[in-house]
Amino acid sequence: MDILQALLNGFGVALEPLNLLLVVLGCLVGTLIGVLPGIGPISGVALLVPLTFALKMPPESALILLAGIYYGAMYGGSTTSILLNIPGETSSVVTAIDGNKLAKQGKAGPALAMAAWGSFIAGTLSVVGLMTLGPLLAQWAIRFGPAEYFALMVFGFSTLSALAGKNLFKALIATGFGLMLATVGQDPQSGISRYTFGFLQLEDGMDFLVVAIGLFAVSEVLMLLEEKTPGAVRAQVGRIYLSFKDFMGSLFTILRSSVLGFLIGVLPGAGASIASFVAYTTEKRLLGDRARFGEGDLRGVAAPESANNAAAGGAMIPLLTLGLPGSGTTAIMLGALMSLGVTPGPQMFQQHPDVVWGLIASMYVGNAVLLLLNLPLVGLFVRLLAVPAWFLIPAVLAISFIGVYAVNNNPFDLLLMAVFGLVGYLMRKLEFPLAPVLLGLVLGYLMEINLRRAMTISNGDVGYLFSSPIAVGLWVLAGLSLLAPVLVARFRKQGLGGDEEL
Amino acid sequence: MTDRIVGILILLLALGYGLEASRMQVGFLSDPLGPRPFPYIIAILVGLSALWLIFKPDPDPTWPAPRFWPVLGLVLLSLVAYAYLVVPLGFILTTTLEMTLLSVLFGARWWQGLGGALAFTLAVYFLFTEGLGVTLPVGRIFG
């Protein structure tokens, strides 16, 4: 099918009243989540999935809503970075360096406008990239058999482990822990119960939402309780404007960072956070003496904000074409889609064109909505920070209870959530990355089933896993990716100088 | 040091996990691979990584002040109690109590916390049950 024709059909889906409403809602909720420190996009998306089930939304509507929250949070995260030096999300940590300096110099307005325009341009470019690269990759991946899929997942896990945390082995343990959780419940092929320890509630396995909300939302509440975050904060927002000269001066930074961010987003494991700091350091080196990075340069805001939005679009490519999510947030989207009866993968472009193209078209709409929403309403969003923590954080927990309970209407899940809340808290303290657990849990089933299918085809010959050039290529890439932490560490050192913690 | 202890605990987890796999009874209706090898692979991956952690630990994390531990214990205990009480006592009562407790821990006066908690719980209860069709426990004691 012609891409333009498909896109046109996609707009037909995206512009249906319900879906249009969901795009706006997703962008709004995403921006709120981005602005509020303490609630990350993963918790936000996880908390809204039960809603999509409860409302019996069709899969395309659910995905449109969840994706809106995801890239909306990228927009919102910059606001508090710039105004208060409190990054709303990890992907906006770098934005705070120059953004907050600008705000202190009285240039908060231009900085916020730059973040919004950079995000808009990057977001739109990344959708164009998704639209052109996605179908190509899907056509290539459609020939994948079980052996290639298994190798692909090994590759996904190794890049994720290599990039997710500071310590590769802690990331590998986190991945393994997620895979362990995935094996709980009835074995899909032989039907025997594994690791249920007599709990009937575990026969169907652990629900990814219960684990996600416990691991991310509940542990976030515990962390905030320990830090005793100061209550309400107030910030002044001036007029949001951007001079044409400033815009043109940053245009090439935006374009370069968009491409860079998009490519990094496509890699599993390298999400928006890595994209934002790689873009910042690259621009810093490229511009050299022509820019004053670190002292309040608009390009220091444009680079990370463009990159993180482009990465959010790029991350949709492996999710939609290979069924391989690269981050915690996209893992939840995968889980939600599978619960709704749609398994992302190369066939999806043919079997569910409504879902894929509806999503792509909705992302064009969403980026425009975010720009319209953000330029005039930033002041309003910031006023939300005046809501005291003692109300906001318990309220998030109350919503978590509803989300978890609604999954199976079973209070056992609330118990499980509490356990994972403690596990998540300890993992954060000990610097184990959390996202690999979620990915292991969501992908573990597919990984095992593909391994076993491959072994059934080859009648137990392990060599079959290495028998095709694609599979061998993926195994090599998986091995190489484990070297990535060394490179990332060098990048961190060179780009930012000193031992600045990121 | 902390990482060494954690490494040992994870190693034990991996061993227990692998051992449990070896005790699985496999019927004759299985595929060539069966349900055991995948857990074995995971156990080896986690076990080897744990060994590395024992030999090359990271510096110790900054643990919270000692007076935070009872607070953490209280919150976890209240979450467990919540799971057991939500069906008998109903969503509104248990959630209000849980939210009030947390509000107070976050520095609110008890009456502020109670007011905010009750208002928010009632609002979301009716939003989700009436508006969105989610079933939440009414409470057995209310018949």
Residue ranges of the domains in chain A? 3-496
Residue A433 and residue A174 in contact, taking contact as beta carbons nearer than 8 Å: yes
Complex-level ipTM = 0.93
pLDDT recorded at residue A267? 79
Nearest CA in chain A to B72: A222
Are B10 and A187 inside 8 Å of each other by CB?
no
Please identify which residue in the block is written with the tokens 């989540």.
Answer: A33
Expressed in angstroms, the distance from the first to the final Cα of chain B is 54
Distance CA A367, CA A70 (A): 12
Q: Give the 3-state secondary structure of A263-316.
A: HHHHCCCCCHHHHHHHHHHHHHHHHHHHCCCCCCCHHHHHHHHHHHHHHHHHCH
Residues of chain B found within 8 Å of residue A402, distances taken between Cβ atoms: 124, 128, 134, 136
Expressed in angstroms, the distance from the first to the final Cα of chain A is 45
Residues A204-208, mean pLDDT to the nearest whole number:
85
Q: Check whether B91 has a pLDDT greater than 90.
A: yes
Residue A185: beta bridge partners? A194
Residues of chain A found within 8 Å of residue B135, distances taken between Cβ atoms: 406, 409
> Which of A210-219, A384-393, A395-404, A442-451 shows the lowest per-residue confidence on average (mean pLDDT)?
A384-393
Q: Which of B134, B136, B140 to substitute to test the interface with A, most A CBs within 10 Å?
A: B134
Q: Check whether B93 has a pLDDT greater than 80.
A: yes
Residues A234-254, mean pLDDT to the nearest whole number:
78
**Each residue's pLDDT tens digit, A145-201:** 889 889 988 988 888 888 777 788 999 999 999 999 999 988 877 778 888 887 888
pLDDT recorded at residue A502? 37
**pLDDT band at A442; cut points 50, 70, 90:** confident
Distance CA A349, CA A125 (A): 20
**Each residue's pLDDT tens digit, A35-59:** 776 677 888 888 888 888 888 888 8
Element (DSSP H or E) covering residue A193: strand A193-194
pLDDT winner (highest mean) among A310-319, A398-407, B39-48? B39-48
**Each residue's pLDDT tens digit, B7-66:** 999 999 999 999 988 888 776 666 777 788 899 999 999 999 999 999 988 888 888 888
For residue B52, give the nearest of A169, A414, A415 by CB distance: A169
pLDDT recorded at residue A143? 82
Two tokens at B28? 């004759």
CA B70 vs CA A269, B61, B63, B90: distances in Å: 36, 19, 14, 27
Task: Using the Cα atoms of residue A93, residue A98, residue A104 and residue A106 in order, give the sign of their dihedral.
Answer: negative
For residue A456, give the nearest of B21, B32, B75 by CB distance: B32
The pairing of strands A193-194 and A185-186 is antiparallel
Q: Give the 3-state secondary structure of A66-98.
A: HHHHHHHHHHHHHHHHHHHCCCCCHHHHHHHHH
* Amino acid, single-letter form, for residue B63: W
Q: Check whether A501 has a pLDDT greater than 50.
A: no
List chain B domain ranges: 2-55, 68-142
pLDDT recorded at residue A465? 87
For residue B83, give the nearest of A55, A411, A460 by CB distance: A411
Distance CA A393, CA B117 (A): 11
SS3 A271: coil
Q: Check whether A141 has a pLDDT greater than 70.
A: yes
Residue A41 and residue A89 in contact, taking contact as beta carbons nearer than 8 Å: yes
Please identify which residue in the block is written with the tokens 């820019």.
Answer: A291
For residue B71, give the nearest of A172, A225, A447 by CB distance: A225
* Amino acid, single-letter form, for residue A49: V
pLDDT recorded at residue A168? 87
Q: What is the mean pLDDT of chain B?
A: 88
**Each residue's pLDDT tens digit, A249-288:** 888 999 999 999 998 888 776 677 788 888 888 888 888 7
Element (DSSP H or E) covering residue B129: none
pLDDT recorded at residue A290? 77
Q: Which of B11, B102, B130 to substitute to test the interface with A, most A CBs within 10 Å?
A: B102
Residues A138-144, mean pLDDT to the nearest whole number:
84
Are B83 and A398 inside 8 Å of each other by CB?
no
Distance CA B53, CA A173 (A): 10
pLDDT recorded at residue B143? 59
Residues B108-130, mean pLDDT to the nearest whole number:
91
Residues A391-411, mean pLDDT to the nearest whole number:
87
Distance CA B113, CA B125 (A): 18
Virtual CA dihedral for A276, A281, A282, A288, nearest 10 degrees? 140
pLDDT recorded at residue A498? 38
CA angle A231, A86, A365 (to 5 degrees): 110
**Each residue's pLDDT tens digit, A330-350:** 889 998 888 888 888 888 888
